[in-house]
């Protein structure tokens, strides 16, 4: 009955694609048209072994690290992203984060599910969402990384979501800062959530929406490593590229 009622409403007041705004009389996604989905770029299999940066199929194959990982110390073992950040995925993330976009979480998770390598990467792990400071979460009303992780938890994949970290310092939004400023902005911004106790050999995956310089995720992983966790990975919905 609910499906019938929903179908009638969709016919009278058709949903629109959150990106191009065309009516969605039929689509595999609730708020994304098939044409816009077709423009989403999934990573190739030619990735940086550490951070998952996509070299692209045209690049020479073989074990390698990207320039960022050759220069910077990361506290995670490996990081993978479900999609590459381009025009479509960027608009999805911006609408999800800043425009009361909680309703987009199921569609984003369906997109993530299309990347089977990514799903295998996070399987059998505890997802640790990057926390927001309580002031920012109060005004935004939700933590986009936590909401995305908890929506993934409902999918048929063996994962658990635990808030192992707390943000204890209010910081400027990373998007406002240059790459050189982002590390200092995140320093000492997180601490462990002492209320949660799990074995230190648990497979952890620190989870965020977008990877740019990696400063936020790296600081989270650093705190977990200092606490004694030894199996720390990281994952994001999207990752920036140079092209």
Q: Where are the domains of the chain?
A: 1-38, 42-239
pLDDT at 228: 96
Taking the C-alpha atoms of residue 10 and residue 16, their distance in angstroms, rounded to an integer, is 10
- CA 240 to mean position of chain CA atoms: 12
Give the count of beta carbons closer than 10 Å to the beta carbon of residue 156.
6
pLDDT at 61: 62
pLDDT at 156: 85
pLDDT at 175: 73
In terms of DSSP H, where are the helices of 33-178? 34-37, 67-71, 87-98, 105-113, 116-122, 134-140, 144-153
Taking the C-alpha atoms of residue 146 and residue 162, their distance in angstroms, rounded to an integer, is 9
Comparing CA positions, the residue from 125, 120, 127 lying closest to residue 143 is 127
CA R_g for the chain: 18
Give me 8's structure tokens: 């009638």
Residue ranges in the chain modelled with pLDDT below 50: 2-5, 7, 243
pLDDT at 9: 54
Under 8 Å CB-to-CB from 237, ≥6 apart: which residues?
81, 82, 83, 89, 93, 108, 112, 148, 208, 209, 210
Beta-strand relationship, 232-239 and 190-192: unpaired
Taking the C-alpha atoms of residue 217 and residue 100, their distance in angstroms, rounded to an integer, is 24
pLDDT at 75: 96
- CA 45 to mean position of chain CA atoms: 19
Give the count of beta carbons closer than 10 Å to the beta carbon of residue 235.
27
Comparing CA positions, the residue from 78, 93, 94, 87 lying closest to residue 35 is 87
Taking the C-alpha atoms of residue 178 and residue 145, their distance in angstroms, rounded to an integer, is 22
**Is there a contact between 48 and 55 (Cβ–Cβ < 8 Å)?**
yes
pTM for this predicted structure: 0.89
């Amino acid at each position: 009955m609910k499906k019938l009622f929903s179908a009638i409403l969709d016919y009278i007041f058709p949903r629109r694609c959150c990106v191009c705004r065309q009516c969605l009389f039929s689509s595999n996604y609730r708020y994304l048209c098939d044409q816009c989905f077709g423009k989403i770029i999934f990573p190739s299999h030619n990735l940086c072994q550490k951070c998952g940066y996509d070299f692209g199929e045209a690049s020479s194959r073989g074990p390698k690290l990207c320039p960022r990982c050759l220069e910077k110390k990361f506290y995670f073992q490996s990081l993978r992203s479900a999609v590459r950040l381009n025009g479509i995925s960027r608009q999805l993330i911006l609408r999800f984060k800043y425009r009361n976009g909680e309703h987009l979480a199921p569609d984003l998770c369906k997109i993530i599910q299309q990347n089977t390598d990514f799903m295998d990467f996070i399987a059998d792990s505890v997802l640790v969402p990057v926390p927001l400071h309580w002031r920012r979460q109060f005004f935004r009303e939700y933590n986009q990384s936590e909401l995305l992780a908890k929506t993934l938890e409902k999918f048929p994949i063996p994962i658990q979501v635990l808030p192992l970290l707390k943000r204890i310092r209010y910081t400027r939004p990373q998007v406002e800062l240059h790459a050189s400023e982002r590390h200092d902005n995140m320093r000492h911004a997180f601490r462990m959530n002492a209320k949660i106790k799990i074995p230190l050999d648990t497979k952890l995956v620190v989870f965020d929406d977008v990877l740019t310089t990696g400063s936020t995720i790296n600081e989270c992983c650093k705190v977990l490593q200092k606490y004694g966790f030894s199996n720390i990975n990281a994952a994001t919905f999207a990752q920036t590229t140079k092209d």
